[in-house]
């Protein structure tokens, strides 16, 4: 294998591989990136057996072939090379020669035939989505994905075709058991989208899809029961779906909220940040006290002290005092665009429903906590 490639293209592909390759693994090959030189292009692949990346970039190929080398180290080397074009050549015993300008490196590799086969998805239902639509859906939900891998059915984004009054929508839902975020997006082609049952895209895969969306344009999204694929231009991601059944999330969404407050989103977020300065891992909660026209935010930490601040709001319901994890509301405020948001309750024992007119199709639910 011998080829030359623009540094910009090589860096772009290697950068994408960094989040996919395994950092600590009993299989060293999963820490490597596969380089496959074919005719007039170089194909790069990385995989952790759950998420697989493939990128295709133009190259001047002298000799076709393939090998694998440590992804992180190759990325670090290429970034520092003082040249616009990088020359790479496979040598004996899977060594890879890398040079640019007057700098030369040789990197120990592993034979390409030990690299896992790139998975194929043959039975997926395909949808073309504007990147900005998919990016918004992900950014308004992914913060609620469970970080506990033991709760594997919550460690991903639930995606389904949901029937709305004005037609089917793409629904994305995430929950960690303490909060829930949900968004419905109208997407062209949903009527023909044959996904009959929801699927769970794993957390790591969701993060990689979001990065792909940041470049704009259209994204091709394919979903099946076992796998998903996402492609855009020269890049393709294959994701193995998270196993398990997603919980019946609709039962936790409050239906009859007779107490509803309207508050400025940015002002609410700023007050929460200040009052939560006394929060620690042991004492995370803040109390929200709803009074007519006024919201008082309080925190008390026996180890540090206490804080309180109030802000005006539109509220004329019963006086309520409810404890919450401040971070959950801060995450929601950061994800939303509405100037004014609604905080709706049934009572102190039930969750808070958050929504806003500037965020159509979106809602979030936060469970109360004892203080």
**Tens digit of each residue's pLDDT (9 = 90 or more) over 199-222:** 999 999 999 999 999 989 999 999
The reply to whether 258 and 350 lie within a common domain is yes
Where residue 187 falls among pLDDT bands split at 50, 70, 90?
Answer: very high
The reply to whether 323 and 353 lie within a common domain is yes
* Per-residue model confidence (pLDDT) at position 268: 98
Q: Would 119 be classed as within a structural domain?
A: no
The reply to whether 184 and 275 lie within a common domain is no
The reply to whether 130 and 242 lie within a common domain is yes
Q: Which residues, including other chains, have CB under 8 Å from residue 151's CB and lie 6 or more apart?
A: 176, 177
The reply to whether 8 and 68 lie within a common domain is yes
Domain ends where: 250, 265, 281? 250
Domain ends where: 64, 94, 114? 114
Q: Would 301 be classed as within a structural domain?
A: yes
Residue with tokens 């109030």: 310
The reply to whether 27 and 75 lie within a common domain is yes
**Tens digit of each residue's pLDDT (9 = 90 or more) over 262-291:** 999 999 999 999 999 988 777 778 999 999
Q: Would 188 be classed as within a structural domain?
A: yes
The reply to whether 129 and 245 lie within a common domain is yes
Environment class of 191 (CB within 10 Å of its CB; exposed 0-12, middle 13-18, buried 19+): exposed
* Per-residue model confidence (pLDDT) at position 203: 94
Q: DSSP assignment of 151-165, as one string?
A: SGGGSEEEEEEEEET
The answer, yes or no, to whether residue 59 has pLDDT greater than 80, is yes
Beta pairing partners, 364: 181, 354
Q: Would 49 be classed as within a structural domain?
A: yes
Q: Can you tell me the mean pLDDT for 99-124? A: 93
Averaged pLDDT of the chain? 94
Cα 6 to Cα 334: distance, rounded to the nearest angstrom:
38
pTM for the model stands at 0.92
The reply to whether 239 and 153 lie within a common domain is yes
The reply to whether 108 and 130 lie within a common domain is no
Q: Can you tell me the mean pLDDT for 315-335? A: 94
Q: Would 155 be classed as within a structural domain?
A: yes
The reply to whether 241 and 132 lie within a common domain is yes
Query: What token pair was written down for 91?
Result: 């040598």
The reply to whether 361 and 263 lie within a common domain is yes
Q: Which residues, including other chains, have CB under 8 Å from residue 46's CB and lie 6 or more apart?
A: 16, 17, 20, 21, 32, 33, 34, 52, 53, 71
**Tens digit of each residue's pLDDT (9 = 90 or more) over 334-366:** 999 999 999 999 999 999 999 999 999 999 999
How many domains does the structure of the chain reveal? 3
Q: What is the SS3 assignment for 114? A: helix
Domain ends where: 114, 141, 159? 114
Q: Which residue has the higher pLDDT, 231 or 303?
A: 231
Q: DSSP assignment of 39-65, as one string?
A: TTEEEEEEE-SSEEEEEEEE-EEEE-E
Q: Would 279 be classed as within a structural domain?
A: yes
Task: Write out the residue range of the structural domain in which residue 195 sits.
Answer: 125-250
**Tens digit of each residue's pLDDT (9 = 90 or more) over 34-48:** 999 999 999 999 999
What is the domain-level CATH number for residue 61? 3.10.150.10
The reply to whether 135 and 231 lie within a common domain is yes
Q: Would 211 be classed as within a structural domain?
A: yes
Q: Would 55 be classed as within a structural domain?
A: yes
The answer, yes or no, to whether residue 243 has pLDDT greater than 90, is no
């Amino acid at each position: 294998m011998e080829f030359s490639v623009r540094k910009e293209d090589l860096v772009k592909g290697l950068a994408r591989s960094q989040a996919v390759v395994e950092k600590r693994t009993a299989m060293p090959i999963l820490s490597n990136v596969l380089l496959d030189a074919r005719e007039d292009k170089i194909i790069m692949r990385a995989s952790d057996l759950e998420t697989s990346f493939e990128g295709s970039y133009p190259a001047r190929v002298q000799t076709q072939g393939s090998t694998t080398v440590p992804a992180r180290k190759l990325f670090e080397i290429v970034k520092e090379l003082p040249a616009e074009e990088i020359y790479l050549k496979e040598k004996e015993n899977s060594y890879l020669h890398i040079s640019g300008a007057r700098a030369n490196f040789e990197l120990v590799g592993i034979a390409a035939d030990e690299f896992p086969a790139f998975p194929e998805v043959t039975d997926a239902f395909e949808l073309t989505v504007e990147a900005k639509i998919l990016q918004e859906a992900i950014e308004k939900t992914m913060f609620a994905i469970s970080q506990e891998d033991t709760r594997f059915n919550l460690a991903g984004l639930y995606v389904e075709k949901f029937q709305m009054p004005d037609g089917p929508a793409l629904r994305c839902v995430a929950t960690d058991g303490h909060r829930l975020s949900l968004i419905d997006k109208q997407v062209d082609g949903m009527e023909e989208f044959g996904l009959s049952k929801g699927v769970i895209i794993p957390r790591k895969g969701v993060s990689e899809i979001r990065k792909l969306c940041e470049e704009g344009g259209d994204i091709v999204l394919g979903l099946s029961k076992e796998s998903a694929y996402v492609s855009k231009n020269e890049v393709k991601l294959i994701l193995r779906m998270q196993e398990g059944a997603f919980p019946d999330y609709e039962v936790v969404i409050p239906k009859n909220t007779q107490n509803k407050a309207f508050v400025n989103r940015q002002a609410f977020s700023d007050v929460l940040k200040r009052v939560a300065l006394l929060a620690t891992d042991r004492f995370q909660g803040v109390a929200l006290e709803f009074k007519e026209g006024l919201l008082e935010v309080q925190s008390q930490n026996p180890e540090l002290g206490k804080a309180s601040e109030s802000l005006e709001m539109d509220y004329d319901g019963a006086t309520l005092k409810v404890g919450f994890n401040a971070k959950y509301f801060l995450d929601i405020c950061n994800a939303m665009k509405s100037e004014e948001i609604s905080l709706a309750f049934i009572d102190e024992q039930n969750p808070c429903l958050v929504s806003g007119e500037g965020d159509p199709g979106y809602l979030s639910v936060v469970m109360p906590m004892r203080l």
